[in-house]
Amino acid sequence: MTEFADNSILVLLDTLPDGALAKSSAGLLGGATALGTPVALLAGNPTELVAAVQNAADLGAVHVLLADTAAASKLSVTTVDALEAASRLVNPQAVLISNSVEGRDVAGRFAVRASTGILVDAVDVARDDQGIIAKHSVFGGEFLVESALTYGMPVITVRHGAIEARAEAKPLQRKDLDLSASENRAADVISFEAAEVNTSRPELRGAARVVSGGRGLGSAEKFELVGQLADELGAAVGASRAAVDAGYVPYSYQVGQTGVSVSPQLYIALGISGAIQHKAGMQTAKTIVAVNQDADAPIFDVADFAVVGDLFSVIPQTIEALQAKKAES
């Protein structure tokens, strides 16, 4: 008898360059627990992943599989090799992967190898009477649709921050995977240089709170107001495409269809009209606050709290009130 449950859900967890678990892990393991028995897979250098292995169990993984891919210099393919080995061992009912750039790459390659279907950018996962389904927020968040495979094991990529369910901690059961590298063609990683992070703010993708600014900010200098409010709230900073195109902030800040998709607990939109392409990347936020001087701005259609007014008057007052509240406590 195999040591893995019949309803095992294999979860590939992303790790950061320092070996820490990516923030997406809690939601992935929460979603997997709602579907069955979560089995986590970590690929990388085992000596750097000791804490991540324990953290995966703390976040609800019943088993933690560890694949030593330290010697490999192949982009994505070694992780796919590890996923294939893990899948053969566990025989899961579904595979959950983060909808990150790397995750999408690995998911697509793995689905081809496993001759199965892929359901991308899920905002939730569930079971119905026929099996596992993924839920997707589509057409700029206007519709919530469900997808499923007609047969086979679905490979599902999950949007960061979208799944709120969390699993209870489990005692650590670790298993090291035997990995034989496939001879599949792959890009070689010749060198690796970590991008310099010169901000103490949370990363936009996966942040619990996001403050975004649009063309209404008017200039790069004035855009700093967005950062000031974000810092008061411990939030990440985002932007509309118009703000990015105008050079107020780099492209990496762009939220929307052609930028980053976020699902934070709180999303504050400042001077953003609410074009469908922007809403596509933020409409699944749990609470949306919009500040716009145009009462008919489409962003108000999706806002839980609408402030009609000049942001240059509203935001400094908001910051003052937040600071006063902090000083009181």
Ligand X SMILES: Cc1cc2nc3c(=O)[nH]c(=O)nc-3n(C[C@H](O)[C@H](O)[C@H](O)COP(=O)(O)OP(=O)(O)OC[C@H]3O[C@@H](n4cnc5c(N)ncnc54)[C@H](O)[C@@H]3O)c2cc1C
Closer residue to ligand X in complex, CB, 149/262? 262
Spacing of C-alpha 10 from chain mean position: 17
Return left, alpha or beta for 140; rule: phi > 0 is left, psi -120 to 50 is alpha, else beta. Answer: left
Our CB check for ligand X shows the closer of 257 and 265 to be 257
Binding range to ligand X, per CB under 6 A, among 9-17, 40-48, 86-94, 209-217: 209-217
Closest CA to 27 of 13, 37, 8, 41: 13
* Cα(297)–Cα(286) distance, integer angstroms: 20
Instruction: Report if residue 238 touches ligand X, rule: CB under 6 A.
Output: no
Q: Is 55 helix (H, G, I), strand (E, B) or coil?
A: helix
What is the DSSP secondary-structure string of 9-54? EEEEPPB-TTSPBPTHHHHHHHHHHHHSEEEEEEEE-GGG-HHHHH
Nearest to 135 by CA among 162, 108, 113: 162
Q: For residues 262 and 255, what is the distance between their CA atoms, to the nearest angstrom?
A: 7
Between the alpha carbon of residue 240 and those of residues 109, 219, 223, 309, the distances in Å are 32, 13, 12, 19
Residue 278 sits in the site that holds ligand X (CB under 6 A): yes
Residue closer to ligand X, measured from CB, 38 or 281: 281
64 or 297: whose CB is closer to ligand X?
Answer: 297
- 210: contact with ligand X by CB under 6 A: no
Q: Report the nearest approach of ligand X to the CB of residue 152 (Å).
A: 33
CA torsion through residues 241, 97, 192, 47, sign: positive
Phi, psi of 194 (to 5 degrees): -70, 135
- Tell me if 308 contacts ligand X by CB under 6 A: no
Which C-beta is closer to ligand X: that of 80 or that of 229?
A: 229
Q: Is 293 in the site for ligand X (CB under 6 A)?
A: yes
Among 118, 120, 186, 311, binds ligand X (CB under 6 A): 311
Q: Out of 21, 272, 289, 290, which residue is the one contacting ligand X (CB under 6 A)?
A: 272
19 versus 309: smaller Cβ distance to ligand X: 309
Does the protein bind ligand X through residue 275 (CB under 6 A)? yes
The amino acid at 195: A
Number of residues this chain uses to bind ligand X (CB under 6 A): 28
Ordered strands of the 94-98 beta sheet:
118-122, 155-158, 94-98, 8-12, 37-44, 63-68, 174-176
Residue 257 found at the interface with ligand X (CB under 6 A) = yes
- 275 token code pair: 């074009």
Which residues, in sequence order, are CB contacts of 52 under 8 Å at separation 6+? 13, 15, 19, 20, 21, 42
Residue closer to ligand X (CB basis): 3 or 294: 294
Site for ligand X contains 142 (CB under 6 A) = no
Minimum CB distance to ligand X, residue 151 (Å): 35
- Classified as helix, coil or strand, 270 is strand
Q: How far is the CB of 55 from ligand X (least distance, A)?
A: 32
Q: Smallest distance, Å, CB 209 to ligand X? A: 18
Task: Work out whether 273 is an interface residue with ligand X (CB under 6 A).
Answer: yes
Q: Which stretch binds ligand X (CB under 6 A): 47-55, 121-129, 170-178, 290-298?
A: 290-298
Q: Is 186 in the site for ligand X (CB under 6 A)?
A: no
Q: Which of 174, 215, 222, 286 binds ligand X (CB under 6 A)?
A: 215
**284 contacts ligand X (rule: CB under 6 A):** no
Sites of contact with ligand X (CB under 6 A): 214-216, 240-243, 254-259, 271-273, 275, 277-278, 281, 291-294, 297, 310-312
